[in-house]
Amino acid sequence: MKGSLIILSFFVLGLILGLTQFLPNSLLEGDFSIYALYLLMFLVGIGIGTDRDSWKVIKEVNIKIILVPLSVIVGSLIGVSAVSVLLSNINFGEAMAVGAGFGYYSLSSVIITEFHSETLGVIALISNIIREILTLLATPLFVKYFGKLAGIASGGATAMDTTMPIIVQYSGKEYAIIAVFSGIVLTILVPIIVPLILQFV
Amino acid sequence: MFQDIIIVLAIMILGLGIGLFIGNRPKIIKIVGALTSFSIFLLLFLLGIGVGTNDKIINNLPTIGIQALILSFGAVLGSLICAWFTYKFFFQTKKVD
């Protein structure tokens, strides 16, 4: 949660500087955010590659566990598509790009900003933060009505870190490994699925 | 745009390959982690500036917030329902064997 607050404070700082117009034009007109995104994706790749523990987790699990992140992917995409009919200015594809953030708000929002628009990027940022907060607050309720995979499903990519403690608390220690596995798979898939969806928008 | 997406994915895969090659070197992993945080901070800072100078977004912030909230509910509820089926059919242990 501390990490989320730091990330948010950078966004808010930028927001305030933007609102007060207290910035040199060169910063506003230079489009170097795409290069920052290239750097980020390169680093994310290295991070995944060097993470031996993650690879070990992925290798050791049985076939059944793959169904968990798969449920999150299918459920999220169907869910956002369904509610997108309520939203007049967001189409199926745009809703799916936001849903495919699976709670990984920092990466999904910058990818969507770069490849689609700032407006949808902000929607992805807020929506995926809400997903994390909702998981932190409502996991006890979710587990009660939707079974022991509920917290993992709701948490999405965050089930491996920020929402893991609450998941373990309400589903049991035996679900920790499933939470980590599902979170890792979804975290790896966000930078792949989001751009792919945006390509069809 | 398709080209940009390919570039981004290729860069990530390149990083992944380098990461696998580097392997378990705590010092490098620590530096990579710090740089990753830095670039996320930078990008969200830039997104903040972009949003702050974008009147279209600022004037519609309440609408955008509600849209985001509706999408969150959709994503969470859809995931919960799918996970419930998965749990019922594949994970739940029967009480009487």
pLDDT of residue B97: 47
> CB A52 to CB B24 under 8 A?
yes
Banded pLDDT at A200 (limits 50, 70, 90)? confident
Q: Which domain holds residue A92?
A: 54-199
- CA distances to A149, A154, A183 from A65, rounded to whole Å, are 11, 16, 12
Q: What ipTM does this complex have?
A: 0.89
pLDDT of residue A28: 59
- Better pLDDT: A33 or B26: B26
> CB B45 to CB A107 under 8 A?
no
Question: Does pTM top 0.90 for this prediction?
Answer: no
**Of the partner residues B2, B12, B79, the one whose CB lies closest to the CB of residue A72:** B79
Rounded to the nearest angstrom, the minimum Cα separation between A169 and chain B is 18
Interface check for B3 against chain A (CB to CB < 8 A): the answer is no
Residue with tokens 């955010």: A33
Range 125-154 of A in CB contact (< 8 A) with B:
125-128, 130-131, 134-135, 142, 145-150, 152-154
In a domain, A9, yes or no: no
pLDDT of residue A183: 93
Please state the rounded mean pLDDT for residues A121-147: 94
Q: Among A129-133, B30-34, B80-84, B91-95, name the most confident range.
A: B80-84
Banded pLDDT at A54 (limits 50, 70, 90)? confident
In a domain, A22, yes or no: no
Please state the rounded mean pLDDT for residues B47-76: 92
Domain count, chain A: 1
pLDDT of residue A57: 72
User: Using only C-alpha atoms, what is the Rg of chain B?
Assistant: 21
User: Using only C-alpha atoms, what is the Rg of chain A?
Assistant: 18
pLDDT score of B95 more than 60: no
In a domain, A80, yes or no: yes
Range 60-99 of A in CB contact (< 8 A) with B:
64, 67-68, 71-72, 74-84, 86-87, 90, 95, 98-99
Question: Taking a C-beta distance cutoff of 8 angstroms, is the pair B75, A131 a contact?
Answer: yes
pLDDT of residue A101: 97
% of chain A at pLDDT higher than 90: 61
pLDDT digits (tens, 9 = 90+) for A59-112: 777 788 999 999 999 999 999 999 999 998 999 999 999 999 999 999 999 999
pLDDT of residue A197: 95
